[in-house]
Amino acid sequence: MSSSMIDKLQIEYQRFSAKEKEIADYVMRNQASIMNINIRDLAANTYTSTSTITRFCRKVGCATFVDFKILLNREVQQPRPETRFFPKTQQAYNDIINATAEMLDTEQIEQVVTLIKKSRRIYVYGLGSSGLSALEFKYRLTRMNIIIDAVTDSHMMIMSASLLGQDDLVIGISNSGRTIEVSDALDAAKKRGAKVVGITNFDHTPLSEISDICLFTPDIDRTGDVHFINSQLAIIYILDVISLLLLEDGSLFEARQNTLKALYHRE
């Protein structure tokens, strides 16, 4: 396998020292402009030293920083040719992501972000693969110091819903919109006064009908014979958008940075 320098920085990342990781992070974020920077400026921008940068370059197979810049610039000017492997999968992913972006309602997304920031506590309900998406969202928001739990058991959904109130938010995930256990739990939460957000492929379903706000995602079947594609791809895209918007809040961003430091302080 022929890897670019950026690929190599990612693959070898865990071998780097803490300072070398800062250099790698800067290079990966600013690849196109590295050719116009000298070693002293890079040292200043990454709070390292020129000797650390030189050792970093040698570790990735370049004798000097100049050699490193030349190799990196060559890759920028001559992008790698498209791989011939698995073009059907790549096209399917592109189709799903593009379709999801087209379906997004900006106003509704902003309303969901506002609800998440204002709510006392948040529950995300999902069964099967949707439950995995619920867990992923829980982990993300927990890092932002948001009180959230993911519930992937139908009995626990009803139990938690029965204890909610007007300051709480429930997000239900179901591609079909007809997962009865999820919609029943959302209905119970709504009767308690909680706000309800649904994420699904289809309108006029039990999930969409019970939701105060419903975010729609494309059904993967519309892209053709893609039964092997992860049915949660479009939902994960929406959760990515919501997460990025939440991180525009300074306190949430700071909380996430603090959790990352706690996780990696041993590096």
Q: What is the pLDDT of residue 82?
A: 58
Cα separation of 192 and 204, whole Å? 23
Pair 147, 121: CB distance under 8 Å: yes
Burial 82-113 (b: 16+ CB within 10 A, else e): eeeeeeeeeebbebbbebbeeeeeeeebebbb
The CA distance from 114 to 117, in Å, is 5
* Domains recognised in the chain with CATH numbers: 5-77 (1.10.10.10), 87-264 (3.40.50.10490)
80-to-34, 70, 85, 139 alpha-carbon distances in Å:
19, 16, 14, 35
pLDDT tens digits along 142-178? 999 999 999 999 999 999 999 999 999 999 999 989 9
Identify which of 218, 217, 198 has the alpha carbon closest to the alpha carbon of residue 208. Answer: 198
**pLDDT score, position 227:** 57
Angle at alpha carbon of residue 176, lines to 215 and 169, rounded to 5°: 45
The model's confidence at residue 95, banded by pLDDT at 50, 70 and 90, is confident
Indicate whether 6 pLDDT > 70: yes
Give the pLDDT score at 83: 57
Per-residue pLDDT averaged across 14-28, rounded? 90
Q: What is the mean pLDDT of the chain?
A: 88
Percent of the chain with pLDDT over 90: 63
Q: Between residues 120 and 71, which one has the greater pLDDT?
A: 120
Average pLDDT over residues 192-202: 95
Check: CB of residue 53 under 8 Å from CB of residue 65: yes
CA 162 to chain CA centroid, nearest Å: 30
Cβ atoms of 174 and 219 closer than 8 Å: no
Spatial contact of 31 and 8, defined as CB atoms under 8 Å apart: no
**95 Cβ partners below 8 Å, 6+ apart?**
223
CA-CA-CA-CA torsion sign (54, 58, 60, 61): positive
Number of H helices, E strands in the chain: 13, 5
| Residue 58, pLDDT score | 92
Answer with the residue of higher pLDDT: 36 or 195.
Answer: 195
Question: Given pLDDT bands bounded at 50, 70 and 90, which one contains residue 71?
Answer: confident
- Model confidence at 94, in pLDDT bands (50, 70, 90)? confident
| Residue 156, both tokens | 């626990």
pLDDT at 168: 98
* Residue with more model confidence, 9 or 246: 246
Per-residue pLDDT at 79: 56
The predicted structure's pLDDT at residue 146: 97
Side-chain-facing half-sphere of 10: CA atoms under 13 Å: 6
DSSP state of 1: -
